[in-house]
Amino acid sequence: MDAIEITGLRYYGYTGYFAEERFLGQWFEVDLTLWVDLLAAGKSDRLEDTLDYRQVVDRVRETIESSKVNTIEYLAAQIARSLLQCDDRLGKIRVRLTKVSPPIPDFPGNIAVEIIREKEDSF
């Protein structure tokens, strides 16, 4: 199966265990791998024959900006579910979601989760 990778998406959201995280918010970064058959698009050069990246980016942004949940694991699963439902050609997805500079004392790094879901896992 072919794949499209979209990397470096960065949005401000309100996910976290602490009330301050859900109130003040913080930055999140997303990298995606979208498994989709690109044979038709490779032959036709038509946008209709491939996945519309704009729709993918909009759904990721909307999910991050509107969710107020406790864990990035749940948020990553929400992103995967939303994307798998947006286009029937999309069969499998990898979501790498990073919480940038989480509020952990004396911790200068980031926290990331990576999930892989298939169409049948999304509903």
43 among known catalytic residues: no
Q: Which of 83, 75, 117 is nearest to 6 (CA)?
A: 83
| Catalytic position from the list 43, 68, 92, 99 | 99
Kindly tell me if the per-residue pLDDT of 123 is higher than 60.
no
Fold (topology level) of 3-121? GTP Cyclohydrolase I, domain 2 (3.30.1130)
Task: Give the HSE-up count for residue 50: Cα atoms under 13 Å, Cβ half-sphere.
Answer: 16
pLDDT in tens, 50-108: 999 999 999 999 999 999 999 999 999 999 999 999 888 899 999 999 999 888 788 88
pLDDT in tens, 7-23: 999 999 999 998 888 88
